[in-house]
Amino acid sequence: MAASRTLRIGLIPGDGIGREVIPAGRRILEALPPSLGLKFSFVDLDAGFDCFKKTGVALPDKTLETLKKECDGALFGAVSSPSTPTKGYSSPIVALRKKLDLYANVRPVKSVAPTPAFPDPIDLVIVRENTEDLYVKEEKTYDAPDGQGKIAEAIKRISQRASSRIATIAGDIAVRRQRVRAGLEGAAKEKEALVTITHKSNVLSQTDGLFRSTAREALQAPQFSNVRVEEQIVDSMVYKMFRQPEAYDVIVAPNLYGDLLSDGAAALVGSLGLVPSANVGDGFAIGEPCHGSAPDIEGMDIANPIATLRSVAVMLEFLGQEEAAAKIYKAVDANLMEAKLLSPDMGGKAKTSEIVEDIIKRL
């Protein structure tokens, strides 16, 4: 048996169905085989729109300080956002990304069975820069000087530093995925390590131009000698990703494009309820399912837990626990391959709790 190690994980359910899927994430960690030598302790933390309505703060200082000082990683459920401007409110997950310098949002998209539309396996990762671009949220509205109504402007900020490190982590992921493929029986060993840089530098020559050139330079480092690098303009990237998703491996993009591509890519595998993510920095990771808070189904025990369980595995990968992550991936994939217990978003009638129990048995 491996030497025992205890990881402290912060649990931030947030809003809506986050309060159902994050407990499922805790259960899957607690159910990992003892032979892995892993133990977990947990701390419950608050954040979200409901927290804001109760306290006037969406991300309490206590939550942030506990994550910084006590935790190895965290799980974040979902957050509701008001549809109209609400004074004093801003997204807690965006704040966490900035305050903890979680500069990469990593979103794997994987199919487990062929479909008529996509007979070839889909297995790609979208790596989204997490700290800048239009998401710096520097906006202003003013009256047009000619008296023709109002003008709204937003700053798009791209830096060399952020572009270099997001390209570097994309290259690292491509190298690791190739290593994993080489060791898997029956895997597509002929699939090369590939990073696709996505941008719109033909129009935005300064901002996206800097992202493009910096990413290319970062991916010329010696450790990426076996990684092929290509580029794709973002609008044609959308088209080709939906037409030929099997052709891609790792896609790296600035914040806005990465956000749109990763949510759209969920349609390739059937549901946002299947798609995980992790917000990753140097030595810290927060697993976060890609779906929203879904208040219309809150408390009904029909939320799809698989995005969260996969997010647990992605978090573990970036905490250096690849063997534990692999066991969760395998159990989840087996559940999906059998296709007997599917949540309503997948066309089934299974309860959240039933799916979680089945996956735990498969561990």
Q: Which CATH number fits domain 123-268: 3.40.50.620, 2.40.170.20, 3.40.718.10, 1.20.1050.140?
A: 3.40.718.10
Which pLDDT does position 253 carry in this prediction? 98
pTM for this entry: 0.88
Of 84 and 220, which is predicted with more confidence? 220
Topology annotation, domain 1-117+275-362: Isopropylmalate Dehydrogenase (3.40.718)
Six-digit token pair at 283? Answer: 């030595």
Which pLDDT does position 1 carry in this prediction? 46
pLDDT at 57 over 80: yes
Of 1 and 28, which is predicted with more confidence? 28
Average pLDDT in the 311-324 region?
93
Where in the chain do CATH 3.40.718.10 domains reside? 1-117+275-362, 123-268
List, for residues 219-264, the tens digit of each pLDDT value.
999 999 999 999 999 999 999 999 999 999 999 999 999 999 988 8
Model confidence at 339, in pLDDT bands (50, 70, 90)?
A: confident
Average pLDDT in the 256-273 region?
88
List, for residues 138-186, the tens digit of each pLDDT value.
999 999 998 889 999 999 999 999 999 999 999 999 998 888 777 654 4
